Amino acid sequence: MDLNIAIFASGSGTNAEQLVKHFSQVEGISTSIILSNKPDAFVLERARKLGIPTSTFSKSEFTAPTFLSVLESHRIDYIILAGFLWKIPAYLIQAFENRIINIHPSLLPKYGGKGMYGSYVHEAVIAQGEKTSGITIHLVNEKYDDGRILFQASCDLSPEDTPDTLASKIHTLEHQYFPQIVEDYIRDYTLKT
């Protein structure tokens, strides 16, 4: 088994970095490229330091089916969304059916959907007086944050928590679980197909 993943990210890239480091130690699964819709995203700097090729793209490039050629040229088998904010076009979901994995910083189905990302999620969780929050790792379908849930992990909130302290708790969970859950899913799904 020799599988290639592409990581899509829009921001700082801490999850992307954890994924790259994890898969550098894993036999049979490699990070081939990190793609971003933001030319100034810090994830691209992280990728350069880790020796991973990068590519950036515009909205019109991403929504055109010809974008598949970028993934084909890197022989991509799975797409991992690590803080990627654009909705995935239908052609890409069809081409990579059950092979696009996302991580979301709440316990879906709560606090998901369009516009719910990063600090917006944490602010909403705190504003609602939730006692717990967490992460959801899920497959991607045509709707935001609606695909089959693969894994969830939770953390407790204290009355003193702010969006920043909650974000820190969520990052800890993301880094702890995301790479291993991705690996487990890829191995399991590849064996079945």
> For 148-165, what is each residue's pLDDT tens digit?
999 999 999 999 999 999
Which homologous superfamily is 3-104+136-152+178-192 in? Formyl transferase, N-terminal domain (3.40.50.170)
Whether 37 and 86 have beta carbons less than 8 Å apart is answered as yes
- To the query of whether residue 138 is one of the catalytic residues in this protein, the response is no
The alpha carbon dihedral of 104, 106, 109, 110 has a sign of: negative
Whether 72 and 32 have beta carbons less than 8 Å apart is answered as no
pLDDT 10s digits, 24-64: 999 999 999 999 999 999 999 999 999 999 999 999 999 99
pLDDT 10s digits, 58-77: 999 999 999 999 999 999 99
CB burial string 100-130: b at 16+ within 10 A, e below:
bbbbbbbbbebbbeeebbeeebbebbbeeeb
Token look-up 């899509």 returns 8
Catalytic residue among 22, 74, 104, 138: 104
